Amino acid sequence: MRMRKSTLSGFLLSGFLSIAVLQSCKNDSYLLVPPPVPDQSFTEEFDTLQNAYNRGWRFVNHSEPIGTQDWVNGGIGPYSGIGHIFSSFDAGSGLATISNWAISPPVILQNGDKIIFYTITAGTAFPDRLQVRINNINDGLNVGTHADEVGDFTIPLLDINPYYSDSPPYAFPDVWTRFEATVVGLNNPAKGRFAFRYFVEDGGPSGSNSFGIAIDSVAYVSVK
């Protein structure tokens, strides 16, 4: 009888150990794979500034000294639809560093996403410049406190006419032109924002640079 009990106990112990080994060998690697990011794609035609604001766009003018005009609707004529946004040398006052931001709604950013848009200058006699930047730190609106600061929008994706050329092919385009920026530099998908920054040094009404630019037909395209 004692031997039977011993044998039974050994059998039960062996069974428990087998179950433990099987459980330890279970493949849980799927738990390490983050869930796919929902499609973040959207388009913005800037039919009106108020409608764009209602959809989450924000507009911040940190030009120094600041001028009389922020982003407005109209100015050139839209690429498509009924509206577009426009900023000019009047974003600054006198001799100014223009830093006028159009900031997207919050979006989950991931490497490979595309920002596609059309832009145009009102004229090449006074060179213009436009940057595309992303904030992958948070979904806030921190662009610094001075014209030469970028706040949390630390990752540059595109810089159109950084050397202020007034001659083709480097000058800011004076016809509606398509540009594409690709999101890069992220370790993981991150909730943040992208922004257009009308950034012109030696600008303003008294400067050698800045005339006016428009942006239209913006598309954010999530990577597949």
* Domain boundaries along the sequence of the chain: 40-221
Structure tokens at 25: 């060998």
Alpha-carbon separation of residue 115 from 106, 111, 127, 194 (angstroms): 14, 12, 23, 9
Q: Is the per-residue pLDDT at 204 higher than 90?
A: yes
pTM: 0.85
Dihedral of the CA atoms 51, 106, 196, 66 (nearest 10)? Answer: 70
Give the residue from 90, 104, 94, 99 showing the smallest Cα distance to 61.
99
β 72-73/85-88 pair status: antiparallel
pLDDT (mean) for 74-99: 95
**CATH no. for 40-221:** 2.60.120.200
Residue with tokens 């039919």: 47
The span from the CA of 59 to the CA of 41, in Å, is 21
pLDDT (mean) for 145-167: 97
Residues in the chain, overall count = 224
Percent of the chain with pLDDT over 70: 85
- pLDDT tens profile 101-127: 999 999 999 999 999 999 999 999 999
pLDDT (mean) for 142-148: 97
pLDDT band at 32 (very low <50, low <70, confident <90, very high): low
Judge whether 177 and 120 are in contact, CB under 8 Å.
yes
Q: Is the per-residue pLDDT at 94 higher than 60?
A: yes
- Average model confidence (pLDDT) across the chain: 89
